[in-house]
């Protein structure tokens, strides 16, 4: 069984999207700083296969998803279910 993300960060490939999701999960679960996130996206974008990680749209989507997690929303407006 393979994992499929529900979050689209605007990367050009599934692999790239999963790499950005790794950054997202580390940021949310590990409470990483904005500087750490910026550095990880920059490092990812240095790989020619994932250059779009440096695009403003990818950064904006990542930061939006992190902020949404803080307010109890995920995946661009889908409310988290409370148990």
Per-residue model confidence as pLDDT tens digits over 24-78: 988 888 878 889 999 999 999 999 999 999 999 999 999 998 888 877 766 544 3
Hey, CA dihedral for 59, 62, 65, 67, is it positive or negative?
negative
Res. 1 pLDDT band, cuts 50 70 90: very low
Domain ranges (residues) in the chain: 36-70
């Amino acid at each position: 069984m393979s994992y499929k993300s529900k979050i689209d960060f605007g990367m050009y490939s599934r692999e790239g999207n999963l790499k950005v999701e790794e950054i997202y999960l580390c940021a949310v679960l590990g409470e990483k700083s904005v500087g750490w996130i910026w550095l990880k996206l920059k490092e990812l974008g240095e790989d020619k296969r994932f250059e779009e990680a440096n695009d403003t749209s990818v950064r904006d989507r990542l930061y939006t998803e992190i902020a949404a997690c803080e307010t109890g929303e995920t995946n661009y407006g889908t409310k988290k279910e409370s148990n």
